[in-house]
Amino acid sequence: MTGPAPTWRRHTAWETALTPEDHAALSALLRVAFPGPEFEPDRSWPASWARKEFRVWLSDNDRPVAHLGFERRLIGTAAGDVLVAGVGDVAVAPSHQGRGLGSALMDALAEVLPDSADFGFLQCREAVAGFYAATGWTRVPNPTRHLGVRDARSVVEGVFPTFVRPGRRPLSQWPSGLVDLRGLPW
């Protein structure tokens, strides 16, 4: 038996194409998903983390209910530079969690990634690692180096929950060893 058809709609947009109304609506979602000072009304990008350049979101009755952003960046690895889409600000509205929207968001990302970067890349809290493992991401053991989000100057290096997924290149080509994000994390 199949359930009712989903009522949400898929949106993709470059950051430069977002309207003030888009920012306000996305900010409302991100503020309930990430309570705290990272997102303010009308500012749908995080205060401390890297700003994204492309957005993917799902709306229900014109209200964004699931969102992710990514920024493309050439990161440094022992095997040379690699173009990644650094993904962050992944959020599903509390009212809509547990209904497959996070998974649908990743399906939408999978459609744009091959035109955007060699690999998708993200880091997360251990508490949500299972979500990424269930939605097409592969956990990798690489240590990473990036600027610290507290001051955007200090250098942070370590092994954190890190996931990649194929874009233009297959996962078999993901390099081993230290990955230098060359900036703020996503």
Contacting positions for ligand COA (CB under 6 A): 33, 90-92, 97-103, 124-125, 127-128, 130-131, 134-135
| Cα angle, residue 33 at apex, residues 28 and 36 outer, rounded to 5° | 85
* Minimum distance from residue 38 beta carbon to ligand COA (Å): 11
- In the bound state with ligand COA, the residue whose beta carbon lies nearer, of 124 and 140, is 124
- Residue 113 burial class via C-beta count within 10 angstroms: exposed 0-12, middle 13-18, buried 19 and up: buried
Distance of CA 21 to the CA centre of its chain: 21
- In the bound state with ligand COA, the residue whose beta carbon lies nearer, of 9 and 168, is 9
* Minimum distance from residue 127 beta carbon to ligand COA (Å): 6
C-alpha torsion angle, residues 65, 125, 117, 115 (rounded to 10): -20
Distance of CA 39 to the CA centre of its chain: 15
| Cα angle, residue 179 at apex, residues 173 and 182 outer, rounded to 5° | 125
* Minimum distance from residue 39 beta carbon to ligand COA (Å): 12
Q: Which two tokens stand for residue 64?
A: 């964004």
* Minimum distance from residue 166 beta carbon to ligand COA (Å): 19
- In the bound state with ligand COA, the residue whose beta carbon lies nearer, of 124 and 164, is 124
- In the bound state with ligand COA, the residue whose beta carbon lies nearer, of 103 and 142, is 103
